[in-house]
Structure 1
Amino acid sequence: MPVSSAYRPDPRFFALGDDFSDPVEAAAFPQTTLRFRNDRAAATVGLDELSDAEWIAHFGRFQPLPGQPVPLAMRYHGHQFRNYNADLGDGRGFLAAQLREVAPAGLTGTGADGASRLLDLGTKGSGTTPWSRGGDGRLTLKGGLREVLAATLLETLGVPTSRAFSLMETGEALQRGDEPSPTRSAVLVRLSHSHVRFGTFQRAAWHERPDLVAALVEHVRSLYHPDVAAGDAPGLLRAMVAASARLTARWIAAGFVHGVLNTDNLNVTGESFDYGPWRFLPHYEPGFTAAYFDQFGLYAFARQPEAVFWNLTQLAGCLKLVAEAAPLTEALNSFGPAYIRELRAAFLMRLGVLSVSEESDQTLLDATLAFLRDGGEALRWEPLFFDWFGGFASSARALSGPRAGLYRGEAFEAFRAALFDHDSDRPERLEHPVFAAADPEEMLIDEVEALWAAIADRDDWNPFAAKLARLEAARQAYGFAG
């Protein structure tokens, strides 16, 4: 069997039945050229021992892994830019497999029986399904490359995220309206904690099926939030609110803009996934948007907490089919306080310092944002956190580095004073060679375009591989938990 002894299949979603999904087959691609395989992620699910040929068979031609049923296109609805769409579902992807993590990673929960986390292998660009809505079910190679880059940097920065698992070039010429066509094609596989979306609940509620909502509640509770009592829908909502608050705070601390925070793009575990028109902030700009079609800034950087809360209210509305409104409202209203707590914690994490008190931590958060705002376009988001990582221990490094001239003025002095009130967290991390570099790893749009241009123009994958290697070094240096 081409898997290790640590491989443990556990296809739980498949057992929910045909009210939630449709069996599908992957497209037969003209070619399957392996462009990226995540061996570190593969090791967490017992698949790192696959040869490249076996990898291509499972993640390019989609021969089923041992113990896994046929792939399923998941059914869901969603609010897209706050307009309800009942004609959704997996239109170019499917749930390929579910399996247990080799060792708990300390994220959201373990199974009720003490088992390690249940993880999904899901696809993007694997062909048409009953929910393709006239689309070709394909993914551009550039889109696949962008998802690998986004997921990798987010993991590096401590954001709970799916991991890009595999990227295969598939040899088709795709027509797209938002990039030069024809363009190269790919199929992506991601490893995620869950692909059950808020929109999965919305579909069951739209069909006025409390039995399906109740089945989903039990499925999600038992597998992803086992501390919640059986049948406790408000308790489950509170757990999902907490997970979503943590995710949103980590996005903000990372300077990340998701771009399309629709209800079908948020899942029940509070893990970021499905990266389309994402961006990272070049500098502090509350109205910064990622999607060219977000003309009114609905999902702008600073509006992401509002967007996530709005989506949670739609989820709460679905749960009214199986629970009273008052406890659901109470659970929903826990988002604001949870988000502020998580935002303080996320900024402490990014700055590499320890908590002192709620008041002092809030002062540091406020001072950091004020300094970023005061610094304008000259003070880039990511370099500030890099230069001052570890607090006082990084003073000499920051004040002798390439941005030393920016570290002056009233707003800076308030930031530095608040930062120095906090002790360094694991100061030995500063000994990593990453912190000897002048600049941090960023992922601004110009670099993304340059990495793609090397591939599109010369089929040169070396810059992409080098970027991933630098991000891995940064991940090890920071030592964040997602």
Structure 2
Amino acid sequence: MALEFDNRYARDFPSLYSAQEPMGFAEPQLVVANDALVAELGLAEEQERLADWFGGRLPLPGAQPLAQKYTGHQFGVYNPMLGDGRGLLLGEVKDGQGGFWDLHLKGAGPTPYARGGDGRAVLRSCIREFLASEALHHLGIPTTRALCVVAGELPVQREHVERGAMLTRVARTHIRFGHFEHCFHRGLGEELKGLMDYVIERHWPDLQGQPAKVFFERVVHKTARMVALWQAYGFAHGVMNTDNFSILGDTFDFGPYGFLDDYQPGFVCNHSDHSGRYAFDAQPSIALWNLNCLAMALSPLIASDDLVAALKQFQPALAGHYLKTMGRRLGLCEVSGQDAPLINELLALLADEAQDYNLAFRWLGEARQDDKLIPCRDHYVDRARFDAWAERYLARLRLQDVGDQGRQLAMNDANPLYVLRNYLAQNAIAAAEQGDFSEVRRLYGLLQNPFTDQPGMAAYAQKAPDWGKRLEVSCSS
């Protein structure tokens, strides 16, 4: 089955891209493929061509490769020189349900927006993005996806020489906050409105005919939900620049990300972030900051009072999504603002004891109410403090008519046993750099079912070793 392309971005926005062909690998090698996405896109019978198509050796039929132009705020500073420096939008593919997906090739050589860079990606960073996007997807967090990773023979210089690779990203759109910022700051009014209309018609057709303010309200709410889920599941993005924010509220552009091991509210996953601007507990405020930048960009289309009113919806929307998710993680059938102190007290305890964030919820789910959570308390040093919290928690559980078995099943469905810890990704990368891709594939398979105990995989459900907590990850990752 051939891919059905409808490359509207290429047709409608000639001023917002540069056409360019990929600089492919001479001998591309498939590292890992997303079998579910391959099938969904109708490529199941084309497995033998994936490496050639998505390693750039052969042109993908129907594709119109292009590098998008956008701008954005990087670490709070506006940079007008941004764009796809090492990525190419291959085209927009229509699926069997009438939806559209961007195919995007990362690491295909320098573009006019490379700013002196080599335009390449390395095997390490491609594996990290592949695993992270799929891990988030299977946790239920809105995200772009990854179709495959293809390795090449090309050496690429980063902190040291590494093996070059390409990643194919699948996303509902690659339009970012930075696209709108570029149009605003360059005075491209027609393109500004065109981008909004494009997003609505392609992805939110229910907004057609509605005032422009409704579009911005949708972006605010989608962004709030995404970040609330990041906070609930302990995901730190690392580089929350406005050019790394999808207009649809999908997690976008994976660099120095990290899932929490020990619960550290101020965790900074990017060792290049010396000020801690993008610390874990700062992510909600940074998301709102980014939305303010987008509001300015949309100001020619939306009245200032309407922009302010929409921005005021962010905090309550985020709090609502966060509270609901954390309630599920604690086995609460219904949750209200009155449950916030119970959640916050547990988080304070986890922080003070540097407890493993995700395993702490699995321990709670496995403990029995009639045993007063005694096996769970053994993980804590300050058992008196845990007992005091557990007494309040048990009293709250008694307000709902759910027994231990039902609560435990519900909690296991909400609390992952397997998380993409940095050291697990690093182990897979180290093997892949030696030519062994089996660990990448094993880890990918495991993360497709993060909530289910899988035979023989107990080692992947353990706390991170001390060395694994100290891994440094930078923007080159």
TM-score normalised by length of structure 1? 0.85
- Counterpart in the other structure of 1:455: 432
1:10 to partner: Cα distance:
2.9
Question: CA offsets per residue over residues 95-149 of structure 1, 9 Å max, x none?
Answer: 112123444xxxxxxxxxxx4x322111211111111111111001011111122
**d(CA) in 1 for partners of 2:422 and 2:41?**
32
1:427-446 equivalence runs, <5 A: 440-446=417-423
Secondary structure at the aligned position of 2:286 is classed as helix
Give the 3-state SS of the residue equivalent to 2:30 in structure 1.
Answer: strand
Q: Secondary structure at the match of 1:49?
A: helix
Asked if 2 retains the 8 angstrom alpha-carbon contact of 1:441 and 1:470, the reply is yes
Paired residues for 1:64-143 under 5 Å: 64-66=59-61, 68-103=62-97, 115=98, 117-143=99-125
Distance 1:174 1:124, change over 3 A: same
Which residue does 2:209 correspond to in 1? Answer: 230
Give, in whole Å, the separation in 1 of the partners of 2:453 and 2:16: 42
Residue 471 (structure 1) aligned with residue 447 (structure 2) = yes
The one-letter amino acid of 2:194's match is A
Report the equivalent of 1:148: 130
Deviation at 1:206, TM superposition (A): 0.9
Asked if 2 retains the 8 angstrom alpha-carbon contact of 1:126 and 1:138, the reply is: yes
1:31-86, Cα deviation, whole Å (9 max, x unpaired)? 200001101122222223322x22123211264544x3411111100100011100
Question: Which position in structure 2 is the counterpart of 1:182?
Answer: 161
Q: In structure 2, what residue type is equivalent to 1:330?
A: A
Show the counterpart of 1:336: 315
Matched, 1:410 2:388: yes
Check conservation: 2:5, 2:63, Cα contact below 8 A: no
1:209 Cα deviation from its structure 2 partner? 1.9
Say if 1:417 and 1:279 are closer, same or farther in 2 by CA, change over 3 A. farther
Partner amino acid for 1:151?
S
Aligned to 2:323, what secondary structure does the other structure show? Answer: helix
Q: Structure 1 residue 426: deviation in Å?
A: 13
Aligned residues: 450
After TM superposition, the structure 1 stretch with the greater mean CA deviation from structure 2, 207-216 or 258-267, is 207-216
On the 8 A contact 1:364/1:418 being kept in 2, the answer is no
**1:160 touches 1:271 (CA, 8 Å); kept in 2?**
yes
Conserved? CA contact 1:257–1:281, under 8 Å: yes
Specify the code of the residue in structure 1 equivalent to 2:76. R
Give the RMSD, CA atoms, in angstroms: 3.1
Correspondence 1:33 to 2:29: yes
Q: Report the counterpart of residue 358 of structure 2 in structure 1.
A: 382
User: 1:5-404 alignment to 2 at 5 Å?
Assistant: 8-51=4-47, 53-61=48-56, 63-66=58-61, 68-103=62-97, 115=98, 117-177=99-159, 181-230=160-209, 232-351=211-330, 353-356=332-335, 358-374=336-352, 376-377=353-354, 379-389=355-365, 400=375, 404=379
Tell whether the 8 Å contact from 1:92 to 1:127 is kept in structure 2 after alignment: yes
SS of corresponding position for 1:14: helix
In the alignment, is the contact (CA less than 8 A) between 1:71 and 1:96 conserved in 2? yes
**In 2, are the aligned partners of 1:393 and 1:424 still within 8 Å (CA)?**
no
Distance in 2, matches of 1:125 and 1:420, equals 55
Q: 1:83 to 1:467 in 2, by over 3 A?
A: same
- Which range moved further: 123-132 or 10-19? 10-19
Identify if the C-alpha distance between structure 1 residues 140 and 422 changes in structure 2 by more than 3 Å, giving closer, same or farther: farther
Does the CA contact (< 8 Å) of 2:88 and 2:108 recur in 1? yes
SS in 1 for 2:250: coil
Q: Distance in 2 between matches of 1:394 and 1:48?
A: 48
Report the Cα distance in structure 2 between the residues aligned to 1:77 and 1:294, rounded to whole angstroms: 20
Where in structure 2 are there 5+ consecutive unaligned residues? 455-477
Supply the distance in 1 between the matched residues of 2:402 and 2:40 (Cα, whole angstroms).
30
CA distance in 2, matches of 1:153, 1:33: 23
Equivalent pair of 2:70/2:82 in contact (CA under 8 Å): yes
C-alpha distance in structure 2 between counterparts of 1:397 and 1:126, whole Å: 57
Q: Give the Cα separation in 2 of the matches to 1:252 and 1:57.
A: 39
**How far apart, CA to CA, are the structure 1 residues paired with 2:32 and 2:369?**
35
- Alignment partners' CA distance in 2, 1:395 and 1:217: 55
**5+ unaligned residues in a row in structure 1: which ranges?**
104-114
Q: CA deviation at 1:372?
A: 2.4
Extract structure 1 runs of 4+ deviating beyond 6 A.
391-398, 423-432
Confirm or deny: 8 A CA contact 2:20 2:66 kept in the other structure. Answer: yes
Q: What is the rounded CA distance, in whole Å, between the counterparts of 2:370 and 2:85 in structure 1?
A: 51
User: What is the one-letter code of the residue matched to 2:280?
Assistant: F
Conserved 8 A contact 1:257-1:279: yes
Q: Distance in 1 between matches of 2:288 and 2:390?
A: 32
Query: Does structure 1 retain, via aligned residues, the 8 Å contact 2:100–2:172?
Result: yes
Deviations 1:279-327 (A, max 9, x none): 1111221211111111111100000001110000000001111221111
1:380-414 alpha-carbon deviations (Å, 9 max, x no partner): 0010222334x877887975479655674323433
Identify if the C-alpha distance between structure 1 residues 157 and 364 changes in structure 2 by more than 3 Å, giving closer, same or farther: farther
Distance in 2 of aligned mates of 1:410 and 1:446? 34
Identical-residue share of aligned pairs (%): 31
Tell me what 2:466 maps to. Answer: none
Q: What corresponds to 1:110 in structure 2?
A: none
Equivalent position amino acid for 1:411 in 2: W
Larger mean Cα displacement after TM superposition, 183-192 or 393-402 = 393-402
Partner amino acid for 2:356? R
What letter matches 1:359 in structure 2? G
Q: 1:148 to 1:425 in 2, by over 3 A?
A: farther
